[in-house]
Chains A and B, each alone.
Chain A
């Protein structure tokens, strides 16, 4: 009996250490980012850094304004949400409520596959297919633009939106729907007036998760957005917060490198904000 208790304790301890390991990683990254991100911000000045419109990190008189990156990330994410959420939401309603089991199994598999495709593959396909197509269709000199990035991001966030929304919709008690149907509502009325409102915080969580995925994506957008630090405009070459860090890191030195850490810190704060929002919605759903 005593031996059993000992084993229990040992296992408990081991799991505690594993759990703390995760927390430790998060703390380590946070502390590291803050420590390495602050110096450049104090040197450049917080206002000039966040609201400066010009980024020329290797110029003789360098300027480190990241407003173009912030706006690009915000617009790009908003665009992806605008396109991705309606598609993802209706797909989730269809799959969880209307689709027959065979179609559902097939489409769920396809969605999972979509989630599993590495982002560099999205980027490659975007570079070779989407970018030339955008150039032809809109008759512009070059297709690498904010628009191409939005399309890629919209596709990339679909799986998380569909899957999380589906889970929320499927968790709606069947009694709700039965009651609505018994009162004479048609199935479609029931889904949109009863099931969806009942699952709304779960669906909101799905959208927030999509935002998080879109704002954090680097590889795929790097390959289709052109990477020039312009102020964002739909058919112009643009640079995101993520790609600003990724594209210059390998060759950077001195203040330029510190500024890249500061960009990472800004990105990190954005992600924290999104996570806090996500937790808010998830908590609301529990209550």
Chain B
């Protein structure tokens, strides 16, 4: 008897939870790039404070976000790379929200502080295989990268001109994994979104320029990529989604975007 009562109780609680969901107020669903978590989080929060409309974010990766928009399962897709031609052909539009610098990171024990893009390319293609060749310690360079299809990898390889010829030692599936691995191996070099780099690793200057808001915006820090909002061409957004879209692409959103460590495009 007790069991039956407890089953009923659970069922009632579950029902309560369900109705709780369905009676929710207006919301905007976003889906996509894991690199954009921080910026969308901050924007969503300020937007909700101003309007009371909640913004949900599903960190699935750029590719999944783009697919989700095309399939209509979310309002706005988030991509940390420009749309491919085949994706644009599906009837999708890209609007640049911000620019994100890609930081080149090494272990704090590494004496190297600066590399230029050419040297970075040579390191990643295996032409330079030991740190001592560029004035570092005598140890083999361990190349840490992201998985094929990742927006960060795509951005990094297209900027350095190393598409498909990088000789990675490890291909990891998240920014956090890259930072953890570089922090744990004195001979490692990796790349990650500037916004998410922590103190456990050292950011290198590229051609003498340190990644910062100014240097990314004026283009002098060259390792950078766009953060893109993806919508269906011609299709109208829901009222609340349109409001959110207008807000984040307006000048008013600039402080919030900067506070997330990326540079606003508008």
Given A248-B148, A253-B86, A253-B87, the answer on whether A142 and B185 have CB atoms closer than 8 Å is yes
- Please, which residues of chain B bring their CB within 8 A of the CB of A58? 148-149, 164
Tell me the residues in window 44-83 of chain B with beta carbons closer than 8 Å to chain A beta carbons.
Answer: 60-64, 67
A251 touching B87, Cβ below 8 Å: no
A144 touching B87, Cβ below 8 Å: no
Query: How far is B107's CA from A135's CA once the two chains are assembled, in angstroms?
Result: 15
Tell me the residues in window 117-162 of chain B with beta carbons closer than 8 Å to chain A beta carbons.
Answer: 139-142, 147-151
Q: Write the B200-244 contact mask toward A (1 if CB under 8 angstroms, else 0).
A: 000000000000000000000000000000000000000000000
Given A250-B64, A253-B84, the answer on whether A128 and B184 have CB atoms closer than 8 Å is yes
Q: Write the A241-262 contact mask toward B (1 if CB under 8 angstroms, else 0).
A: 0000011101111101000000
Query: How far is B142's CA from A254's CA once the two chains are assembled, in angstroms?
Result: 31
A248 touching B164, Cβ below 8 Å: no
Given A60-B164, A142-B170, A251-B62, the answer on whether A223 and B177 have CB atoms closer than 8 Å is yes
B113 contacts the other chain (Cβ, under 8 Å)? no
B148 touching A144, Cβ below 8 Å: no
A127 touching B170, Cβ below 8 Å: no
Question: B150: nearest residue on chain A (CB-CB)?
Answer: A251
Query: How far is B180's CA from A161's CA once the two chains are assembled, in angstroms?
Result: 33
Tell me the residues in window 158-188 of chain B with beta carbons closer than 8 Å to chain A beta carbons.
Answer: 163-164, 168-173, 177, 180-181, 184-185, 187-188
Most buried by B among A143, A222, A226: A226
Chain A interface size, as a band, is 20 to 34
Tell me the residues in window 26-82 of chain A with beta carbons closer than 8 Å to chain B beta carbons.
Answer: 56-60
Q: Please tell me which one of the listed residues B142, B151, B168, B181 contacts residue A251 in the complex, with CB atoms under 8 A apart.
A: B151
A-B contact count (CB 8 A): 90
B150 touching A227, Cβ below 8 Å: no
Given A60-B164, A127-B177, A256-B149, the answer on whether A250 and B60 have CB atoms closer than 8 Å is yes
Query: How far is B174's CA from A127's CA once the two chains are assembled, in angstroms?
Result: 13
- Please, which residues of chain B bring their CB within 8 A of the CB of A231? none
Question: A56: nearest residue on chain B (CB-CB)?
Answer: B164
- Please, which residues of chain A bring their CB within 8 A of the CB of B60? 250
- Please, which residues of chain B bring their CB within 8 A of the CB of A248? 147-149
Most buried by B among A135, A142, A144: A142
B149 touching A252, Cβ below 8 Å: yes
A228 contacts the other chain (Cβ, under 8 Å)? yes
Given A59-B164, A141-B140, A226-B170, the answer on whether A135 and B149 have CB atoms closer than 8 Å is no
Given A56-B164, A251-B149, A251-B150, the answer on whether A142 and B142 have CB atoms closer than 8 Å is yes
A131 contacts the other chain (Cβ, under 8 Å)? yes
Q: Please tell me which one of the listed residues A128, A142, A239 contacts residue B188 in the complex, with CB atoms under 8 A apart.
A: A142
Query: How far is B162's CA from A59's CA once the two chains are assembled, in angstroms?
Result: 11
- Please, which residues of chain B bring their CB within 8 A of the CB of A223? 177
B89 to chain A, nearest CB (A): 12
Query: How far is B142's CA from A131's CA once the two chains are assembled, in angstroms?
Result: 13
B136 to chain A, nearest CB (A): 13
B126 to chain A, nearest CB (A): 12
Question: B172: nearest residue on chain A (CB-CB)?
Answer: A227
A132 contacts the other chain (Cβ, under 8 Å)? yes
A237 contacts the other chain (Cβ, under 8 Å)? yes
B139 touching A141, Cβ below 8 Å: yes
- Please, which residues of chain A bring their CB within 8 A of the CB of B63? 250-253
A72 to chain B, nearest CB (A): 14
Given A223-B177, A253-B86, the answer on whether A141 and B187 have CB atoms closer than 8 Å is yes
Given A132-B184, A253-B84, the answer on whether A247 and B171 have CB atoms closer than 8 Å is yes
Between A and B, 18 residue pairs with Cβ closer than 8 Å are A56-B164, A57-B148, A58-B164, A59-B163, A127-B181, A127-B184, A142-B188, A143-B185, A227-B171, A228-B168, A237-B171, A246-B173, A251-B64, A252-B149, A253-B63, A253-B86, A254-B86, A256-B149
A-B contact sample (6 more), CB < 8 A, given A131-B184, A142-B170, A226-B171: A60-B163, A128-B180, A226-B170, A227-B173, A248-B149, A253-B87
Q: Which residues of B contact A (CB under 8 A)?
A: 60-64, 67, 84, 86-87, 139-142, 147-151, 163-164, 168-173, 177, 180-181, 184-185, 187-188
Per CB-CB distance, the 10 closest pairs between chain A and chain B, nearest first, are A251-B149, A250-B61, A251-B63, A59-B164, A141-B140, A226-B170, A227-B171, A58-B148, A142-B142, A247-B147
